[in-house]
Chain A
Amino acid sequence: MHHPTGADGDTRRWHLDHIAWDRLVRQLMTDVDEVIGPVMRSGVVRLRRLTDVGDLAIGVVDAQDAGSYRATGSSMPTRFDHGPGPDSLKAIVHPAETPVWTIRRRDGELRVEPAPPDTTTRAVIGVRDCDLRALQVLERTQTSGPHPDASFAARRDGFVIVAVDCTRPAATCFCTSTGGGPAASTGFDIALTELADDADVHYVARAGSARGAELLDLVANRADPAVVARADIAVASAADVMVRTLPDHARTIVDVPDHARWAEVAERCLACGNCTAVCPTCFCTDLVDEVSLDGETSTRRRTWDTCFSEQYSALGGEPYRRSTASRYRQWLTHKLGTWWDQFDESGCVGCGRCITWCPVGIDLTDEVAALLQPEAVAP
Chain B
Amino acid sequence: MTVATAPESFDPMITPVEHVVTDVIPEIPDVVTLRMVPTTGDVAPFLPAQVSMVGAFGIGEAAISISSSPSERAYHEYTIRHAGAITSALTHLRRGDRLWTRGPFGRPWDLHPGGDLVIAAGGIGVAPLRSAILHTVEHRDLFGAVVLVVGARTSHDLLYRREYEAWRDAGIDVIATIDHDEAGWSGAVGFVPTVIGDLEFGADTRALICGPDIMMRRTADALVAAGVDPDRIQVTLERNMQCGTGRCGHCQLGGMLVCRDGPVADYPSVARALSIEEW
* 1/0 contact string of B65-100 vs chain A (CB within 8 Å): 000000000000000010111010000000011101
Tell whether A112 pairs with B4 under 8 Å between CB atoms, given A287-B61, A314-B84.
Answer: yes
| B256 interfacial by beta-carbon distance below 8 Å | yes
Q: Report whether A305 and B250 are in contact in the complex, using a CB–CB cutoff of 8 Å.
A: yes
Q: Report whether B249 and A284 are in contact in the complex, using a CB–CB cutoff of 8 Å.
A: yes
Q: How far is the CB of B119 from chain A (nearest CB, A)?
A: 23
Q: Report whether A283 and B247 are in contact in the complex, using a CB–CB cutoff of 8 Å.
A: yes
Binds A, one of B10-18, B43-51, B133-141, B189-197: B10-18
| Residues in B neighbouring A333, C-beta threshold 8 A | 254
Q: Report whether B1 and A295 are in contact in the complex, using a CB–CB cutoff of 8 Å.
A: no
| Residues in B neighbouring A73, C-beta threshold 8 A | none
Binds B, one of A40-48, A127-135, A334-342: A334-342
Q: How far is the CB of A253 from chain B (nearest CB, A)?
A: 12
Which residues, 341 to 360 on A, are CB-close (under 8 Å) to B? 341-342
| Residues in B neighbouring A285, C-beta threshold 8 A | 242-243, 247-249
**Residue among B15, B58, B260 having the largest count of chain A Cβ atoms under 10 Å:** B58
| Residues in A neighbouring B247, C-beta threshold 8 A | 141-142, 145, 147, 149, 283, 285
Q: Report whether A114 and B4 are in contact in the complex, using a CB–CB cutoff of 8 Å.
A: yes
Q: Report whether A315 and B239 are in contact in the complex, using a CB–CB cutoff of 8 Å.
A: yes
Q: How far is the CB of A240 from chain B (nearest CB, A)?
A: 35
Q: Report whether A113 and B248 are in contact in the complex, using a CB–CB cutoff of 8 Å.
A: no
| A323 interfacial by beta-carbon distance below 8 Å | yes
Which of A110, A287, A323 lies in contact with B57, CB distance below 8 A?
A: A110
Residue of A nearest to B249 (CB): A284
Q: Report whether B100 and A110 are in contact in the complex, using a CB–CB cutoff of 8 Å.
A: yes
A145 to B238, CA, bound (A): 21
Binds A, one of B149-157, B218-226, B271-279: B271-279
Q: Report whether B246 and A145 are in contact in the complex, using a CB–CB cutoff of 8 Å.
A: yes
* 1/0 contact string of B120-142 vs chain A (CB within 8 Å): 00000000000000000000000
Residue of A nearest to B251 (CB): A313
Q: Report whether A307 and B3 are in contact in the complex, using a CB–CB cutoff of 8 Å.
A: no
Which residues, 216 to 266 on B, are CB-close (under 8 Å) to A? 238-240, 242-243, 245-250, 252, 254-257, 260
Tell whether A330 pairs with B98 under 8 Å between CB atoms, given A110-B1, A289-B60.
Answer: no
Q: Report whether A147 and B13 are in contact in the complex, using a CB–CB cutoff of 8 Å.
A: yes
Tell whether A305 pairs with B248 under 8 Å between CB atoms, given A110-B57, A111-B1, A315-B239.
Answer: yes
Q: Report whether B255 and A317 are in contact in the complex, using a CB–CB cutoff of 8 Å.
A: no
Binds B, one of A101-109, A225-233, A267-275: A101-109
**B interface size (C-beta, 8 A):** 49
A134 to B3, CA, bound (A): 35
| A326 interfacial by beta-carbon distance below 8 Å | yes
* 1/0 contact string of A29-44 vs chain B (CB within 8 Å): 0000000000000000
Tell whether A111 pairs with B250 under 8 Å between CB atoms, given A285-B243, A298-B57, A326-B278.
Answer: no
Q: Report whether B240 and A320 are in contact in the complex, using a CB–CB cutoff of 8 Å.
A: yes
Q: Report whether A315 and B278 are in contact in the complex, using a CB–CB cutoff of 8 Å.
A: no
Which of A110, A113, A116 lies in contact with B98, CB distance below 8 A?
A: A110
Interface SS of B by simple majority: loop
**Residue among B55, B96, B248, B256 having the largest count of chain A Cβ atoms under 10 Å:** B248
* 1/0 contact string of A274-310 vs chain B (CB within 8 Å): 0000000001111101010001001000000101000
**Residue among A258, A305, A337, A338 having the largest count of chain B Cβ atoms under 10 Å:** A338
| Residues in A neighbouring B239, C-beta threshold 8 A | 313, 315, 320
A88 to B166, CA, bound (A): 60
Tell whether A257 pairs with B58 under 8 Å between CB atoms, given A111-B1, A147-B14.
Answer: no
A240 to B250, CA, bound (A): 39
Residue of A nearest to B6 (CB): A114
Tell whether A291 pairs with B58 under 8 Å between CB atoms, given A113-B4, A145-B247, A285-B242.
Answer: yes
Tell whether A298 pairs with B276 under 8 Å between CB atoms, given A111-B2, A114-B4, A145-B245.
Answer: no
**Residue among A318, A322, A337, A342 having the largest count of chain B Cβ atoms under 10 Å:** A342
Which of B18, B83, B240 lies in contact with A312, CB distance below 8 A?
A: B240
Tell whether A322 pairs with B85 under 8 Å between CB atoms, given A108-B97, A286-B248, A338-B252.
Answer: no
Q: How far is the CB of A112 from chain B (nearest CB, A)?
A: 5
Which residues, 116 to 166 on A, are CB-close (under 8 Å) to B? 116, 141-142, 145-147, 149
A283 to B243, CA, bound (A): 12
Q: Report whether B278 and A147 are in contact in the complex, using a CB–CB cutoff of 8 Å.
A: no
| B186 interfacial by beta-carbon distance below 8 Å | no
**Residue among A105, A147, A298 having the largest count of chain B Cβ atoms under 10 Å:** A147
| B7 interfacial by beta-carbon distance below 8 Å | yes
Q: Report whether A109 and B252 are in contact in the complex, using a CB–CB cutoff of 8 Å.
A: no
| Residues in B neighbouring A337, C-beta threshold 8 A | 255
| Residues in A neighbouring B246, C-beta threshold 8 A | 145-147
Can you spell out 16 A-B residue pairs with CB atoms less than 8 angstroms apart?
A105-B98, A110-B98, A112-B2, A112-B16, A114-B7, A284-B249, A289-B61, A291-B57, A295-B58, A298-B57, A298-B58, A320-B239, A337-B255, A338-B255, A341-B256, A342-B257
Interface contacts beyond A110-B57, A285-B249, A286-B242: sample of 20 additional A-B pairs, CB < 8 Å, sorted by A: A108-B96, A110-B98, A111-B1, A113-B3, A114-B15, A145-B245, A147-B14, A147-B247, A257-B276, A284-B248, A284-B249, A284-B250, A287-B60, A313-B240, A314-B240, A315-B239, A316-B84, A316-B87, A321-B278, A338-B254
**Smallest CB-CB A-B distances: 10 pairs:** A341-B255, A316-B83, A326-B278, A317-B84, A284-B249, A147-B245, A113-B4, A338-B255, A145-B246, A110-B1
